[in-house]
Amino acid sequence: MSIDSDQDEESLTHVGSAAPSSPSDEQEVEVADGIAEFVEGVLDEGEPKTWEELQALAEEGLKNARKRKSYRDEVVFASLVQLYRFAPRQGRLRGSLRVARNLGRGPAFARVLNAHARHFEAMGSLKPGQQGKRPSGSSGSGESALDDEAFSLGVKSFLRTLAPGTVTPTLLQHHVNEHLFPSLKLRKTSISKRQARRWLYRLGYRLKSHQKGVYWDGHERKDVRKHRQEFCDLLKSLEPYMAMYEGPEMKEVPPNLAEGEVEHVFIYQDESTFHDNDFQGQGYYLKHGEQVLKKKTRGRLMHRSGYICARYGNLALPPEMVEANARLPEGERLTKTDSGVTIFPSNKDGGDTYWNTQQMITQLRHAILIARRLFPNAVIHWVFDNSSCHDSRAPGALNAREMNVGPGGRVRHMHDTIIPLGNPHGHGGELQSMQFPAHIPDNHPYKKFEGKPKGMRIILEECGYIKPGTKLVGDCKLCKAKRARKPKLALSPEEMDLADCEDLVNDSEDESRPSDCCLLRILELQEDFQNELCLLQKVVEEAGNQCHFLPKFHPELNPIEYYWGWCKNYFRERSNGNFERGKRLLQEAVDMCPLITIRRFFRRASRYLSIYHLGATGVVAEFAAKRYRGHRGVMQKDIDQAQAEWEVKQTKLTVGQSLH
């Protein structure tokens, strides 16, 4: 980052010394540390690195503000554009004074502008207005106990006694309340934990969280790595056919296509949940509404499912195309021009039902039509989270779990199949029906099961895997235990959100079960059962598009994950717990994320892609991603260097530790 904010902090206090420290500073601190955990690492890619990039981003904001006729934002953005024009030569502080002068305003304006600038640089959005925000709790007079020389010294020397990483607001709070206040006989006698947090912030402490995409178990599992490699290789191989986004304004550079070649476009889907109480900073973000923690305090649930692409951001027709669409005859007109869907699920009357496959498919069908309109000639690739497929089998799909052991019963009918060619009992290539024929001769033992499902046992007999009378249970203890196993990994809530628990439960590399322990297992391992398309894939492929699933545990490869992070941040800064306001804010957040920022998210995901493509894994990959922040492509030599640097760093750490 090219901006030295500490220095500005110092000088600013002189400029604004006439005004007492405003509550908005307090709020800024509180908001900043409340969201730090989730947002850190997500936003730093959205965060512009140079004055030039900041100016481009502010210009885009200005354009949007004009479109929305938001006068307040327009003024702030216009000032920021000016500021970033002056800043390269004069610095942020003198730049803002100059902007103030140009506008006939004084130092107070410069100070406010500066605060806006700093927020804008950190968050990529404007500082929220005060309207509708709850009053900030305990900020009384502008005077802070920290301004007291002796007190401040006491706090600082206490913090120095704590080993790095062990500092917490609670520790500071207790020390202050039990030791410092009594000994210094100050007017104030106690502070809240929140106050302690603010002080830590003032003293330069930041709540650091794990970076997104850190190597939890599973990330480097053999099967996951294989899928990741395939996925990254495929995307890399298509890069020459894709538009790229470069420079401070992330301008589009179209692919250099030869005669007859077609552009390839990638669209990413994912879901996210918002709660109207998220501003309280105790948010645990979970996917799929049903797994809500701390239900009581989180407030109403809002569920958003969306698609993004690098050219347009949110997958929706731009205004001029919406108008053109409205003029089309009814048959050709799209009924939906924005692919995003927000629902407000609730068990109460009037609430929406929870997100399900049906809603997802309906949304996808609209999205496909919109995408075709936006990219009429391109090959369109749809990328889904790995877990999206779990419960979206097509009607009639083969699924051993839904089958009975014996014939009959009220079981879903499944389509016919061809016994896989690899069948070791000579049945490969035979047509096989999952149901008995509608008419069976009278003397046949299965007469009473006419048209009914055959059940696992008969299906497997037909394939030659078991003989009539073979003693084998339908579903054995091992398999049951396996499915019931809870994830043992200690994941943070964000990781749980990202890693989708289902994946953790359902498969793991240490496969100790035999492949023929029970009927269910034999059947599930059959190629035709394994290859059953999920409904998403079916719908996408029927539309002539291509469908991909992200490797498990790899949110860092999905640009929309970063986008949700941005939206959540925007939402949390402005939410006040009111449901109606929350509804509006969510839509606003989704619309407000600047296209430049979204393109940076794509660049970030693309950087991980290059890194994995080059074979870097785990820690080194993460290290390289940080090291080459802002680069789109990473070269082999970069990976080698990252590897080397990482090793040096490790050695230093080990040496450092052994000294203690």
**Binding range to Zn ion, per CB under 5 A, among 306-314, 490-498, 499-507, 516-524:** 516-524
Q: Is 479 in the site for Zn ion (CB under 5 A)?
A: yes
Query: C-beta of 522: minimal distance to Zn ion in Å?
Result: 9
User: Applying CB under 5 A, does 405 fall inside the site for Zn ion?
Assistant: no
CA angle at 216 for the pair 212 and 219, rounded to the nearest 5°: 90
Q: Does 482 bind Zn ion (CB under 5 A)?
A: no
Pick the piece of the chain touching Zn ion (CB under 5 A) from 118-126, 192-200, 477-485, 568-576. Answer: 477-485
* 307/315 Cα distance (integer angstroms): 5
- Would you count residue 397 as binding Zn ion (CB under 5 A)? no
Cβ-based nearer residue to Zn ion, 513 or 632: 513
CB closer to Zn ion out of 224 and 519: 519
Cβ(381)–Cβ(267) under 8 Å?
yes
In the complex, the smallest distance separating the C-beta of residue 401 from Zn ion, rounded to whole angstroms, is 12
Neighbour tally for 327: CB within 10 Å: 7
Which span sits near Zn ion by CB under 5 A: 128-136, 225-233, 509-517, 618-626? 509-517
Q: Which is nearer to Zn ion, 303 or 521 (CB)?
A: 521
Longest Cα–Cα distance of the chain, Å, equals 102
Residue 552 sits in the site that holds Zn ion (CB under 5 A) = no
Q: Does 518 bind Zn ion (CB under 5 A)?
A: yes
Q: Which of 111, 194, 452, 521 binds Zn ion (CB under 5 A)?
A: 521
Q: At its nearest, how many Å lie between Zn ion and the CB of residue 621?
A: 36
Q: Which one of 124-132, 239-247, 297-305, 514-522 is the stretch in contact with Zn ion (CB under 5 A)?
A: 514-522
Closest distance to Zn ion from the beta carbon of 450 (Å): 31
Contacts with Zn ion, 422-461, as mask; x by CB under 5 A: ----------------------------------------
What are the backbone angles phi and psi of residue 382, rounded to the nearest 5°?
Answer: -110, 130
Tokens of 602: 């794509």
Return the residue matching tokens 């490790």. Answer: 650
Does residue number 517 form part of the binding site for Zn ion (CB under 5 A)? Answer: yes
Q: Which long-range contacts (CB under 8 A, 24 or more apart) does 109-115 make?
A: 110/15, 111/12, 111/15, 111/16, 111/19, 113/76, 113/79, 113/80, 113/83, 114/8, 114/12, 115/24, 115/25, 115/28
Return contacts of 140-145, CB within 8 angstroms, 24+ apart. Answer: 141/20, 142/20, 142/21, 142/22, 144/21, 144/199, 144/202, 145/186, 145/188, 145/191
Coil, helix or strand at residue 397: coil
Inter-residue long-range contacts of 74-77, CB under 8 Å, 24+ positions, other chains counted: 76/113, 76/116, 76/126, 77/126
Mark the segment that binds Zn ion (CB under 5 A) among 62-70, 225-233, 515-523, 550-558: 515-523
Nearer to Zn ion by C-beta: 364 or 456?
456
**Stretch binding Zn ion (CB under 5 A), from 361-369, 398-406, 469-477, 588-596:** 469-477
Rule CB under 5 A: say whether 476 interacts with Zn ion.
yes
550's CB contacts (< 8 A; 6+ apart) are: 231, 383, 384, 385, 386, 557, 558
Binding segment for Zn ion among 376-384, 434-442, 513-521, 607-615 (CB under 5 A)? 513-521
Q: How many residues bind Zn ion (CB under 5 A)?
A: 5
Alpha-carbon distance of 3 to 584, in angstroms, equals 34
In angstroms, give the least distance from the CB of 488 to Zn ion.
Answer: 21
Nearer to Zn ion, 159 or 476 (CB): 476
- Cβ nearer to Zn ion, comparing 322 with 525: 525
The footprint of Zn ion (CB under 5 A) covers 476, 479, 517-518, 521
